[in-house]
Structures are given as C-alpha cells and as structure tokens.
Amino acid sequence: MSFKIPFLPEQASSFARDSDHLTFYLVAMGTFFTVLIAVMVLGFVVRYRRTHPDQIGGSFDGSTLLEVTWTIIPLLIVLFTFVWGAKVYFKIYRPPADAAEYFVTGKQWMWKIQHPTGQREINSLHVPIGQPVKLTMTSEDVLHSFFVPAFRTKLDVVPGRYTTMWFTPTKLGRFHLFCAEFCGAEHSHMIGWVQVLPADEYQNWLAEVAVPALPAPAGESGEQLFARLACSTCHRDEASVIGPSLRGVYGHEVELSTGEKVVVDDNYIRESLLEPTAKVVAGYQPVMPSFKGQVSEDDIRALINYIKGLAGGAAAATGAEAEGVVR
C-alpha cells in the first residue's frame, strides 16, 4: 500500500498551471541563492581563515566589474520576476466579459451562493466545465476569504463592499472550498465543495433545483424596493433639487462635493445606501437617510440591478435579466 503526499493540489482551472509555474520559479530562485550564499560563506570561512594568531588580513580596493555584475544581474532577475508576476496577476484578477456572474455572501459560518438563474446553495457551488465564472462577493458580518486551492484562487470577502474573483474550471469533479481568514469560533467549519459538471449535467441540475420564491418583503424586486423605500421621491427620472437622477448613471463618473470624481458601480451604490454622507454628489446636500439595518444583502443586490436597468440599451437588458434573478 503506497502513501502519497502531493506537493500541490491538483490543477483544475485555466490559470492554475501559470500560478504553479510562477511558484516553482520563486521557490527555485530562493533555494538557489540561499544555497549559493551559504556555500560562499562557508568557502570564505575556510579559504580566508586565520592560520596563526599574529596574521593580519590583506586589503581589497574594490572592483568596478564586480560591483556592476552584482548590481545588473539582481536587477534583471527582479525585473523578470516582476513582469512574470504582473502577467499572472492580471490574468487571475481580470475576469473576461463573457463570465457568468454568481453572487456569494459570507456569513458566520457559511457560504450563501446564488446562480445567475436564481438557484441558491449553501456551502456548495455547482458550475459547468469550461465556462468562466465570476464571483461577486460580500460579507454580512466579519472578514472572510473565499479559497479554492485546486483553482489557485483566493480573495478576501469584506463587509461593507463587493470584491470580485473569477476562474474557468478545466477538470470535472469536486474540489474543496475553504474560508482562509479566521472569522470566529466555528471558522474551521466554514467549508464546502465546488462541483464541476459537464454542461448538459449542469443544465439538468439547474432544472431540478427550484428558484426560491421568497416571501415579501425579502422577495421584492428592485423596482418595488425603490418605491417602498421612497427612493423615487428624490431620485426621479429628472434631477431634482434634493437628489440626482439615477437614469443612465451606472458605469459613469460623477463629481462629488469634494471635487473628486468616482465611477458609479456596485460598491458606490452599496455605500450610498448604507453610508449616504460618505460620498455626496456635487450640488446636493447630505440629506439622504441611511438604510443600514433596513435592507438585506439581497435587497441591496436587487436595488443595484434595478439601477443598472435604468441605464438603457444593453445595460438595461443586462439589469432586467439580473432583476429577474433576484425576484
């Protein structure tokens, strides 16, 4: 009976091999120079040791060639490492445009996941092989970290904001999902599985899992929430003296009262709902009330998708499609 301890988890995503190659390179470089320095230290200790108590060491005036050599070689190595690392970094943290967007909420001590078509899971994620998957993540309480070792992808899940990560699964099977940030007494139980299925089996799985019909108000659409929270009182189609119009604003820059310009994205809308005085649009007073404690993460997601749908054209179609998911 053989017992094997793998050096690394299996490679199951499109950039796992790139990550491993960079890791092996860094380990090899570190090992090489550690051994080289240790050997040179020992060699100098033996070669230049004092042979009798009255011996006086010789002098060394320096060498321009030596100085240039040990400056240029490390510089080239560092620049090569930087370029390689940056290339892998951008590949890992820039999701492609055709990635299917899943929503992940971390909560002590579980992962709540919603599919693009509305199906929901806890501590489990089913995805089709070969399909780029984008995870938009937030936390309801403390800092968590979404980590799938086989995909070589890990990112903090932060309360109060959205973070995004992505992967393209390349191997069928079940792969461990961990929380890699200590988040409380039951942190070690915050684990799960990512199940990679063939495309047809994934569609069959979606068909078998019902989209939850949530009771009101949790099941309200973004448009209904927008009306119930009286957002339309200030944010009408046309800008009012109280609040700016939200039509067509998503994805565009707005100028703040501080003179700074920010892009209206998911994080901006979320912050505006919970901390409305943090970033006030120029020309308006900080009179918007906070909805902290009044809206859930699902409500915030629904409102964001509704505001996306106010953009018109392709963005409206995307928002309307996502809106149907949240209902």
Residues 160, 23 within the same domain: yes
DSSP letters, 219-278, are T--HHHHHHHTTGGGTS-SS--SSS---TT-TTSEEEBTTS-EEE--HHHHHHHHH-TTS
Confidence of residue 216 (pLDDT cuts 50, 70, 90): very low
Average pLDDT rounded to a whole number, residues 16-39: 93
Residue 44 falls within a domain, yes or no? no
Cα gap 28→31, rounded to integer Å: 5
Please state which of the ranges 47-56, 207-216, 267-276 shows the lowest mean pLDDT.
207-216
pLDDT tens, residue by residue, 66-121: 889 989 999 999 999 999 999 999 999 889 988 998 999 998 889 999 898 888 89
Residues 23, 122 within the same domain: yes
Domain count, the chain: 2
Residues 153, 27 within the same domain: yes
pLDDT tens, residue by residue, 110-126: 999 989 888 889 999 99
Residue 298 falls within a domain, yes or no? yes
Angle 127-132-136 from CA coordinates, rounded to 5°? 80
pTM for the predicted model, two decimal places: 0.70
CATH number for 255: 1.10.760.10
Residues 206, 178 within the same domain: yes
Residues 12, 144 within the same domain: yes
Residues 201, 228 within the same domain: no
Residues 207, 233 within the same domain: no
Average pLDDT rounded to a whole number, residues 199-217: 73
Cα gap 47→52, rounded to integer Å: 14
Residue span of the structural domain in which 72 resides: 8-35+65-212
CATH number for 100: 2.60.40.420
Residue 102 falls within a domain, yes or no? yes
Residues 199, 255 within the same domain: no
Residues 181, 75 within the same domain: yes
- Give the phi and the psi of residue 234 in degrees, each rounded to 5: -105, -35
Residue 81 falls within a domain, yes or no? yes
